[in-house]
Structure 1
Amino acid sequence: MVCTAKAGAIFVDANAAPGGDGLTWGTAYKYLQDAFYKPPTSGDEIWVAEGTYKPDQDEGSNVTAGDRYATFELKDGVSFYGGFPIGGGTWEERDPNQYETTLSGDLNGDDGPDFVNNGENSYCVVHYNQTGDGATLAGFTVTRGNANGSGAREAGGGGVNNESGGKLVLINCTLEFNSASGGGGGVFIYKGTGLSQIFNCIFRKNKTEPGAIGGGGLLLYRAGSPILNNCMFLENISGDGGGL
């Protein structure tokens, strides 16, 4: 299935053949990291088909398999949209509920129930550290990050870490089974101007470790006044603020 998209769109499909250039669904990148290293420029959109994508996988040799520091590094002015069918589709055919698009930190693919076997998982599945036009992540499940290291990125926000506190927009995302030793098992927003926006997102079964500053699902640390609308917090665990 082929469609016409706006100029600057880059296409990713986990079921695509290797060697794609990302310019059409027919030549889509197989690994999401290759779209990040194209590199995208402000105004680009990344359209991502149903499947599971891990930050330590690519064809361009920009990341190393098994590297816990590997992360999906969001870029200012670039929007990332999951929920397209395998093989590609039009914007009207996009349905994140039907075509689940997962960003997973389970690098070995061996996680058990809850948080079993997560010792090798990514410190941070998705990272944002810019302060310009902002970035958008829409229609993804972000799961199995394990921020059990030290430092702003490695100890907070196993799922999503907004280290700059810049304008990060999350829409129709599910954050689940992420953990952190410092705070914000699912999402950590650090300082900043309070421009972040979170709409229609589900925070489910994320946790922080004992001694964390809180926020099993979401931690806003001196983050101004970000906007949250129509979000659900379910079964998150923390010593202080299980959900938020």
Structure 2
Amino acid sequence: MSYWHLLRSVLASLAGSSQERLSRGCRVPARRRVVLEPLEDRRLLSVVYVDHDAGGAGNGTSWLDAYTDLRVALTQANSRDEVWVAEGTYTPCGSGDRSLSFNLKTGVDVYGGFDGCESSLEERDSAGHVTTLSGDIGTTDEMSDNSYHVVYASSVTDAILDGFTITAGNANGANPDHFGGGMYNQSASSPTVTNVVFSGNSANYGGGMCNENASSPTLTNVIFSGNSADHGGGMYNHYDSSPTLTNVIFSGNSATYSGGGMDNFAGSSPRLTNVTFSGNSAGSGGGMHSFSECSASLTNVTFSGNSAGGDGGGI
């Protein structure tokens, strides 16, 4: 049999098999209809640039055209944006309105420590290019007219604050403006705070930071130094707020009444790993003070040189 006769025989056999399958009740699939579903609405990550020395268009699209006002940049930023902030000192406003702060937003990550020419996060040097967020909005070096909270977060999740020094907040107003001079997290806020120094802030509750109403931020490589308050010179945790702290230092903070470094109240149970309390002072609990309903978890935590006028020099 020739090749062509063999090929025809095979094709005929296949055709017969198809007919046999049809005769047994098998259905040949109908022509498949292709349906194109709309893609989920997604935004690619974009960078919003901030540099107080920029002289371009001021729309945040590049270092040349960077915003000069960080608060405006945060207002304009959308979820999945990164805000890159060049070195220098930024204040929430120039009008003297103490209620204004740098407000964090869910899904927006804020990074300091840039020279103002970088094209990637890896190029920045936050130690060499110090970026300061200051509450000194009124008379220079006069705390009485400073911002109540330098940084503020309400119901904020999935946000990063990285590479800043936060200073000169003064939360000495009426409730809620007596919480968190440096940073005030409330209403179940859980931002990630990394490579940040809180220094020279004051408040009635939580000079450096106050976490309130189930707010549980994550802090890594953070320093609280020289902050003061009536309660919780460095940090005050209030109403079921349980932050996670890793590689954190509380040094030289003070409280008139309780918790020179940290004060925990009303069911707040922070988790601390590799944390140092040194040289803090308070009426009670020079390093840390916790009320009976609180149970802090401590792993490799050092208390050194803390003092109290009453009970608990260290804790």
TM normalised by structure 1 equals 0.85
Structure 1 partner of 2:271: none
Q: Determine if contact 1:189/1:219 at 8 Å carries over to the other structure.
A: yes
Shift of 1:86: 3.6
Correspondence 1:140-179 to 2 at 5 A: 140-152=164-176, 154-179=177-202
Q: Which runs of 4+ in 1 moved over 2 A?
A: 86-90, 222-225
Shift of 1:89: 4.8
- In structure 2, the partner of 1:130 is 155
1:30 Cα offset (Å): 1.0
Segments of structure 2 that go 5 or more residues without pairing to the other structure are 1-43, 263-315
Cα displacement (A) at 1:144? 0.1
RCO (CA 8 Å, sep 6+): is it higher in 1 or 2?
Answer: 1
Aligned pairs for 1:78-89 (under 5 A) are 78-89=108-119
Task: Report the 3-state secondary structure (helix = DSSP H, G, I; strand = E; otherwise coil) of the residue aligned with 1:103.
Answer: strand
Distance 1:178 1:43 in 2: 30
Let me know the Cα RMSD of the aligned residues: 1.6
The one-letter code matched in structure 2 to 1:191 is N
1:191 Cα deviation from its structure 2 partner: 2.1
Deviation, 1:33, is 1.4
Q: What's the TM-score once normalised by structure 2's chain length?
A: 0.66
Matched, 1:96 2:134: no
Kindly tell me the number of residue pairs found equivalent between the two proteins: 218
By percentage of residues, which structure has more strand? 2
Q: Deviations over 1:181-214 (max 9, x none)?
A: 2x100000002163x1011000000000xxx3x2
1:189 is aligned, of 203, 206, 211, to 211
Match of 1:114 in 2: none
Give me the whole-angstrom Cα distance separating, in 1, the residues matched to 2:206 and 2:46. 33
Distance, in Å, in 1 between the alignment partners of 2:192 and 2:138 is 29
Tell whether 2:259 aligns with 1:234: no
Contact 1:165-1:223 at 8 Å conserved across structures: no
Q: 1:157 to 1:224 in 2, by over 3 A?
A: closer
Matched-pair contact (CA < 8 Å) for 2:96–2:137 = yes
Q: 1:8 aligns with which of 46, 64, 78?
A: 46
2:203 corresponding residue in structure 1:
180
**Residue by residue, what CA displacement relative to the aligned partner does 1:5-62 show, whole Å, maximum 9, x if unpaired?**
x732100011111641101111111111120221x221111000001000014xxxxx
Question: 1:73: which partner in 2?
Answer: 103
Q: Distance in 2 between matches of 1:9 and 1:18?
A: 16
Does residue 75 of structure 2 align to residue 37 of structure 1? yes
Please tell me the residue identity of whatever aligns with 1:85. D
Structure index of larger Rg: 2
Letter in 2 for 1:54: T
Whether the aligned pair in 2 keeps the contact of 1:13 and 1:88 (CA below 8 Å) is no
Higher helix share: 2
